[in-house]
């Protein structure tokens, strides 16, 4: 140990520690320069992030005003529960957190489905139909293929992916070859899918559908989505690996869209299909593949929904009522709040499901759970101001009225940094900016 201390006191190590401190302090003090803030605020992602924060704050404010009008005495406790107070409830705790994470999976995948289509210039409002068809395919494999053993749940989930991709193929095909608006086609196929699934289930009474319970027969335990010990961390909850699968899907989509030629071609087709064709890109193939991938994500969401074992391993069931499943439409809210970015959609899904879980516990304060739908709707309306907020942020950055400036060099001297506060050690010292240079 004595030799180690002697080594640390050598001139070489002293120079190393001085340079390391110099770089750390310079990187920290870069926060106090106008160039840093100007560069940060000029990025499109910064404007999108600020727009999302403004939308969330606006939605929560409107929700608080509604709570004041309905039950003034419980408005503050309700707001506290809305922003996380429900975690401390005796009926929530780790169980509530586990259930929150469990609900994130299907909504996140539906958000990725809609957001991926947005990125490629399409509006996949048909995620609900693709969700339903994917769910049916998973039920069929789950009930009729128990011989698959440990691969049962995986094959059932894969069947849901293929079912959703198949249902997403039709809007893409009509858009690519007949230029039929995908919104109209998707809405039609939502209802076609719902009625077709209900008809297939009821026609197979006793095989796929339970006559007395009026819902699908529960899949065997071998088809349940694995938990991988997560319920030991969140006892009493319904958590499984669906959330992990959705996170992995989001990361893969982010890589495809931003790091691959295939993703570039899909985005190019969405921006201008005619220019893409002129540039040698098969725009019809790109449009069809975009809708197929989007449908596959929604189908996977349906599979994770129906293959979930539930908190007591009783399974999950679907009732053949002539009502569209709302999870696909919630994906639109998640995609809009996440600005169609796969990473942003992760946080948007976490937030949406968080306040939905809070709405369940707010009933103890005699508030209706529908107040959460009002808050989410308000947030989406505020999200429509994204372009305006982004423009205001860029104008603010262009004016130069930013933190930092010439006097910030006093902080550098206080921290013992001789050069300007930039990450690169070779950067020259920053001199005061004149008014004319500021205007330029």
Contact indicator for 94, 232 with CB cutoff of 8 Å: no
Residue 381 lies in a domain: no
Tell me the pLDDT tens digit for each residue of 305-326: 999 998 888 899 999 988 999 9
Closest CA to 142 of 200, 222, 240: 222
Residue 36 lies in a domain: no
Domain region containing 322: 102-355
What pLDDT, on the 0 to 100 scale, is given for residue 6? 56
What pLDDT, on the 0 to 100 scale, is given for residue 383? 75
Domain match, 316 and 436 both:
no
What is the pTM for the complete model shown?
Answer: 0.83
Domain match, 342 and 439 both:
no
Which residue among 327, 355, 383 closes a domain? 355
Residue 51 lies in a domain: no
Which residue among 310, 339, 355 closes a domain? 355
Residue 416 φ/ψ, nearest 5 degrees = 75, 25
Domain match, 173 and 316 both:
yes
- Taking residue 270's Cβ as centre, other Cβ atoms within 10 Å add up to 19
Contacts for 424 with CB less than 8 Å, ≥ 6 apart: none
Question: What distance in Å separates the CA atoms of residue 221 and residue 153, rounded to the nearest whole number?
Answer: 9
Residue 282 lies in a domain: yes
Domain match, 336 and 415 both:
no
Residue 367 lies in a domain: no
Task: State the total domains in the chain.
Answer: 2
Contact indicator for 340, 115 with CB cutoff of 8 Å: yes
Residue 56 lies in a domain: no
Residue 405 lies in a domain: no
Residue 216 φ/ψ, nearest 5 degrees = -65, 150
Contacts for 51 with CB less than 8 Å, ≥ 6 apart: 339, 383, 385, 386, 389, 390
**Has residue 41 got a pLDDT over 60?**
yes
Domain match, 322 and 187 both:
yes
Average pLDDT in the 427-437 region?
44
Q: Mean pLDDT for the chain?
A: 84
Question: What distance in Å separates the CA atoms of residue 172 and residue 290, rounded to the nearest whole number?
Answer: 7
**391 — pLDDT class (breaks 50, 70, 90):** confident
Tell me the pLDDT tens digit for each residue of 120-163: 999 999 999 999 999 999 999 999 999 999 999 999 999 999 99
Pairing between β-strand 215-216 and β-strand 209-210 as defined by DSSP bridges? antiparallel
Q: How far is CA 107 from CA 103, 249, 251, 352, 378, in A?
A: 7, 13, 16, 9, 19
Q: Which residue has the higher pLDDT, 47 or 227?
A: 227
Partners of 216 in beta bridges: 209
Average pLDDT in the 284-297 region?
96
Domain match, 179 and 323 both:
yes
What pLDDT, on the 0 to 100 scale, is given for residue 389? 72
Report how many helices (DSSP H) and strands (DSSP E) the chain contains, helices first. Answer: 20, 2
Closest CA to 127 of 268, 324, 317: 324
Question: According to DSSP H, which parts of 204-272 are helical?
Answer: 230-233, 242-259, 261-271
Tell me the pLDDT tens digit for each residue of 49-83: 777 888 888 888 988 998 999 888 889 998 888 88
Question: What distance in Å separates the CA atoms of residue 434 and residue 362, rounded to the nearest whole number?
Answer: 56
Domain match, 343 and 431 both:
no
What pLDDT, on the 0 to 100 scale, is given for residue 18? 67
Domain match, 332 and 423 both:
no
Q: How far is CA 147 from CA 9, 43, 151, 302, in A?
A: 69, 54, 9, 22
**Has residue 297 got a pLDDT over 90?**
yes
What pLDDT, on the 0 to 100 scale, is given for residue 25? 63
Domain match, 433 and 347 both:
no
**Mind spelling out the 3-state secondary structure of 297-365?**
HHHHHHHHHHCCCCCCCCCCCCCCCCCCCCHHHHHHHHHHHCCCCHHHHHHHHHHHHHHHHHHHHHHHH
**433 — pLDDT class (breaks 50, 70, 90):** very low
């Amino acid at each position: 140990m004595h030799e180690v201390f002697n080594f640390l006191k050598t001139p070489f190590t002293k120079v190393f520690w001085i340079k390391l401190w110099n770089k750390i302090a310079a990187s920290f003090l870069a926060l106090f320069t106008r160039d840093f803030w100007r560069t940060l605020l000029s990025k499109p992602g910064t404007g999108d992030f600020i727009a999302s924060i403004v939308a969330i704050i606006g939605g929560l404010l409107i929700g608080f005003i509604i709570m004041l009008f309905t039950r003034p005495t419980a408005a503050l406790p309700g707001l506290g529960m809305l922003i996380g107070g429900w975690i401390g409830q005796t009926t929530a705790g780790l169980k509530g957190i586990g259930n929150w994470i469990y609900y994130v999976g299907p909504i996140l995948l539906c958000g990725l489905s809609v957001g991926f289509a947005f990125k490629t210039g399409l509006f996949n409002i048909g995620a609900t139909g693709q969700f339903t068809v994917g769910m049916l395919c998973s039920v069929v494999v789950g009930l009729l293929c128990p011989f698959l053993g440990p691969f049962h749940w995986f094959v059932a989930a894969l069947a849901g992916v293929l079912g959703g991709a198949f249902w997403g193929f039709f809007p893409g095909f009509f858009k690519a070859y007949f230029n039929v608006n995908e919104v109209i086609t998707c809405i039609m196929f939502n209802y076609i899918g719902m009625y077709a699934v209900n008809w297939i289930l009821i026609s197979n009474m006793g095989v796929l559908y339970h006559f007395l319970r009026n819902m699908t027969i529960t899949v065997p335990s071998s088809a349940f989505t694995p938990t991988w010990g997560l319920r030991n961390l969140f006892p009493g909850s319904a958590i499984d690996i669906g959330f992990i699968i959705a996170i992995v899907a989001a990361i893969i989509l982010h890589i495809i869209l931003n790091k691959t030629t295939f993703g570039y071609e899909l985005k190019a087709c969405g921006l201008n299909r005619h220019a893409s064709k002129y540039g040698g890109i098969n725009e019809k193939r790109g449009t069809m593949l975009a809708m197929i991938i989007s449908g596959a994500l929604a189908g996977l969401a349906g599979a994770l929904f129906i293959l979930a074992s539930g908190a007591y391993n009783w399974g999950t069931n679907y009732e053949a009522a002539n009502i569209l499943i709302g999870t696909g439409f919630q994906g639109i809210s998640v995609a809009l709040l996440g600005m169609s970015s796969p990473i942003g959609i992760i946080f948007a899904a976490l937030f949406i499901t968080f306040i939905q879980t809070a709405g369940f516990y707010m009933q103890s304060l005699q508030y209706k759970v529908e107040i959460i739908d009002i808050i989410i709707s308000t947030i989406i309306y505020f999200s429509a101001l994204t372009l305006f907020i982004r423009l205001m942020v860029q104008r603010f950055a262009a004016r130069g009225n930013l933190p930092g400036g010439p006097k910030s060099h006093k902080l550098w001297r206080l921290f013992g940094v001789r050069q300007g506060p930039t990450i690169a050690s070779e950067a020259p010292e920053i001199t005061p900016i004149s008014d004319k240079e500021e205007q330029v």
